[in-house]
Amino acid sequence: MVIAMRHQNQERRIRKISKMVKKAVIALLLAMLLFLTGCKGSMGRAENNARAENNAQAENQVGQEGEGGQGNSVEREKQNEQGMDETGQRDGQAGMQEGMESGAGTEQQSLAEGQESRELHASGNDSARRQQEQDNGEEEAQAGGTDSERSSSGSRAAGEKKNRPEGWELEFASEDWGLSFGEPGTQPVGNASAEDLAWYDAYFMGNDEEKVIYLTFDCGYENGNTEPILDALKKHNAKGTFFVVGHFLETAPDLAKRMVEDGHAVGNHTYHHLDMPTISDMDAFRKEMDDVADLFREITGRELSPYYRPPQGKCNADNLEKAQELGYYTIFWSLAYVDWDADNQPSHEEAFSKLTSRVHPGAIVLLHNTSRTNGEILDELLTKWEEMGYRFGILPELTGE
């Protein structure tokens, strides 16, 4: 009997241990399942965040912010219809590809890294800049007036430089022009400050004292949308500036003539839409600019307006100084959106949302002539801006010509 009882006790202990082991195994499996589910969720959230960040960067690019894409469109049309010389083609493709790959992915980081150094740099230069401005004012008075007063045509002489403070250098947060937006209706922050750019006769927005918009259009090629844009401008008696490349002038000379007839300015976007900061030789830089001016004069009998927009928004101090030496004002932008891809156009709602929420006093607006959306909405968009209290200015108001 004693042996039988012992045997029963052993069986009960074995069953108890077996149940405990089963419970432990089940608990372990549940813990592993929860862990794997949590990892999957974290990965999913990380992927979603990455996609959201990429979308936001694509929206902020616009010139990059659309300029890289516009470059590819120009190149594609150029090759299809007439081709360019081998050297220009190779350089153009390399420059445009770099613009696409650079994009806005570095914009926010570059702005953040560069903002602090710009602020420190600016604070150290304030006294020197004020002294230099005072000296410049005295020199102008002695010379008999300001730049515009000394020039019979109303614009400064080609090659005339402003006397920048000794030891001062322009600093860009990135060579790809980019913007950082704050509250709706407020002016954005650019890769360089408006005050620093002014030393090179470069601008990306006007002052914030008046609700004025400067309309600009980049023209890489023609696909049927320029005419409705011109019609909308004419309806609102609004004047704009059209930045043209060589291919546009070669293939759409009648539109260039109409721009002049309608009272618009036509500026220089370079002949081949290259990555201009990579061109260190002044003769090569000058040829890119002069070839556009010469062809425009041949087509219209008029001189090209002295406004330059760097292809893809790529720039550095040397690039700006070269343009200044040739007598150009460099015009960036403070408002744009991703409108350049003819095969992936934004909806009307998307366009209105971006262009009305981010508009601000002194805005230089960049739109592309190749955008079907722009051609369809511009009349209504101009009306909306007018209802918001804005008027449409012209670049000479900004540059002081």
Catalytic positions are 218, 368
In this structure, which amino acid lies at residue 252? A
Residues 34, 14: Cα–Cα separation, whole Å: 30
Separation of alpha carbons 208 and 361, rounded Å: 5
**CA distances for 131 relative to 141, 163, 164, 166, angstroms:** 16, 11, 11, 11
Residue 243 to residue 221: CA distance in whole angstroms: 11
Exposure of 2 by Cβ count < 10 A (0-12 exposed, 13-18 middle, 19+ buried)? Answer: exposed
Q: For residue 254, how many C-alpha atoms fall within 13 Å in the half-sphere facing its CB?
A: 4
Helices 226-235, 253-261: crossing angle, 10 deg rounding: 10
User: What distance in Å separates the CA atoms of residue 245 and residue 82, rounded to the nearest whole number?
Assistant: 14
In 265-380, DSSP assigns E strands to 265-268, 307-308, 329-331, 363-368
Using DSSP's 3-state secondary structure scheme, residue 89 falls into helix
| Both tokens assigned to 90 | 């190779």
How many CB atoms sit inside 10 A of residue 241's CB? 21
Cβ atoms of 256 and 248 within 8 Å: the answer is yes
Q: Is 248 helix (H, G, I), strand (E, B) or coil?
A: helix
Cα dist. 60→18, 105, 207, 336, 338 in Å? 63, 9, 22, 9, 8
